[in-house]
Amino acid sequence: MKRRRVLGILLAVLGSTAAGSLAYPLLRFFAPPARDNKAKSISIKKSDIRLGEAKEIVFNNNPVIVINRHEKGFVAFSKVCTHLGCLVEYDRGLRKLVCPCHAGTFDLDGNVLSGPPPRPLPVIPVKVEGDLVIIG
């Protein structure tokens, strides 16, 4: 009967180890994910980008293009093409964004016009305050 006692203790120890090693992951699993450090917004002067021109900036470690569109105002997109990740270029004449790798083209709302990209370009929120353009 002494053996049974020893085994019982062993069972309790191992059992609580098992329970603990499943409970800890569970706690981590349900704990809210660490929020990304909110990227600081970037502001540039309105006068830096003339009508129909674009400016490239690095926002949150990602290449972003800010365009001052005719009639529709400022807009900012991630430059990473949704097809295979090359960086799209702004074509001022055509008023389009074109990817150099496989000729994916996007309009100035980010929508796919032609080529292989499966999704529109991600839009980065832009606000115009006074003579500043605030990105993010």
**Judged by CB under 8 A, which of 33, 36, 47, 130 binds other proteins?**
33
Q: Are 66 and 55 in contact (CB under 8 A)?
A: yes
Q: What is the C-alpha separation between 61 and 63, in angstroms, rounded? A: 7
Closest separation between CB of residue 81 and other proteins, Å? 8
Binding part of the chain for other proteins, among 38-46, 67-75, 97-105, 124-132 by CB under 8 A, reads 97-105
Strand 62-69 to strand 54-59: parallel, antiparallel, or no bridges (unpaired)? Answer: antiparallel
From the CB of residue 82, how many other CB atoms can be counted at a distance below 10 Å? 19
CB of 88 to other proteins, least distance (A): 11
Q: How far is the CB of 96 from other proteins (least distance, A)?
A: 12
67 vs 98, which CB is nearer to other proteins? 98
> Does the protein bind other proteins through residue 21 (CB under 8 A)?
yes
E strands of the chain, at which residues?
42-45, 54-59, 62-69, 73-78, 89-91, 96-98, 105-106, 112-114, 123-124, 126-129, 132-135
- Contacting positions for other proteins (CB under 8 A): 1, 3-4, 7-8, 10-11, 14-15, 17-18, 21-22, 25-26, 28-31, 33, 80-81, 84-87, 98-103, 115
